[in-house]
Every structure is written in C-alpha cells, then in structure tokens.
Amino acid sequence: MVDRIMNGHDVFYTGSAGCGKSVVLRTFKKRLEKMNKRVFVIAPTNLAALNVGGITTWGYACWAPKTNMKSVNTLLEEMEDKMNGEGEGFTETDVLVIDEVSMMESNFFERLNYVMKRARNSTAAFGGVQMVVTGDVC
C-alpha cells in the first residue's frame, strides 16, 4: 500500500477500527514529506482530524457548513477571491489525504473537486492532486 502511494497512485484503503489505517497514513506521510511533497491530511470532524494530525475538511477548503447551500459557481467565484490568502492550499497541495471518508458528504467531495480543478487550472480530477482516501466503511 505504502509503495503504491509513494509511486504517485491515487489510493483508497479501508479496514475495521484498530487495523492500522492510521499507522499506514503516518508512515507514507512521513516518507512523502522527506521527498518535499506538500501533504495535507483532512477529515470531516475535529476529533477525526486531531487523531491523524490533520485539519477538518471545512478548514482545508476555507468553507463554512453553510457552503452546502451555495451554488458551485458561487464557490468558484469565492475561491478566486481567496487565492491570495485563504484557500492557497488548493494550489500548494501535492497529496491530499482524506481520512474517515465515509463520514464525508458526497456533495462536499464533488464541490472540492470542482474548486481544486479551477484553482489549479486543470481538468484532471481534483486538479491533478494525488488523492489518498481512507476510512472504515461501517
């Protein structure tokens, strides 16, 4: 698993609680950072983010929960306004790790994809950022 991630593959890995998902995450994150990769680890809740040394999904995107009520076009306009300050993580991210993905709303995932594409001026999924997604499907 770690080798696939280190070779630049997008990966989804899962397992039950206590099986070592977070150990795998810490291992590849440390190795990627030694390669000077900018790795952001995000999770949908404060507790989940703290458990893996990351930040919340909302914090990474510089969004508030009311964001779900905004159109994608409004989010794209707001993102462009923020690119000189908040939201710069979109362009500085080499690897985005999403922990506890089963807790994340599909709407958020889809909007993040659109905004990252625009921020990075790319048509590739998530603007071409390597995605590592993990969590317990239960």
Q: Which domains does the chain have, with CATH numbers?
A: 2-135 (3.40.50.300)
DSSP string, 20-55: SHHHHHHHHHHHHHHTT--EEEEESSHHHHHHTT-E
Q: What global pTM score does this model have?
A: 0.86
- Owner of token pair 């590739």: 124
Q: Give the pLDDT confidence of 81-119 residue by residue, as tens digits.
A: 555 544 557 888 999 999 988 888 878 888 889 888 888
pLDDT confidence tier of residue 5, bands split at 50, 70 and 90: very high
Cβ atoms of 14 and 39 within 8 Å: the answer is no
Count of Cβ atoms closer than 10 Å to residue 92 Cβ? 10
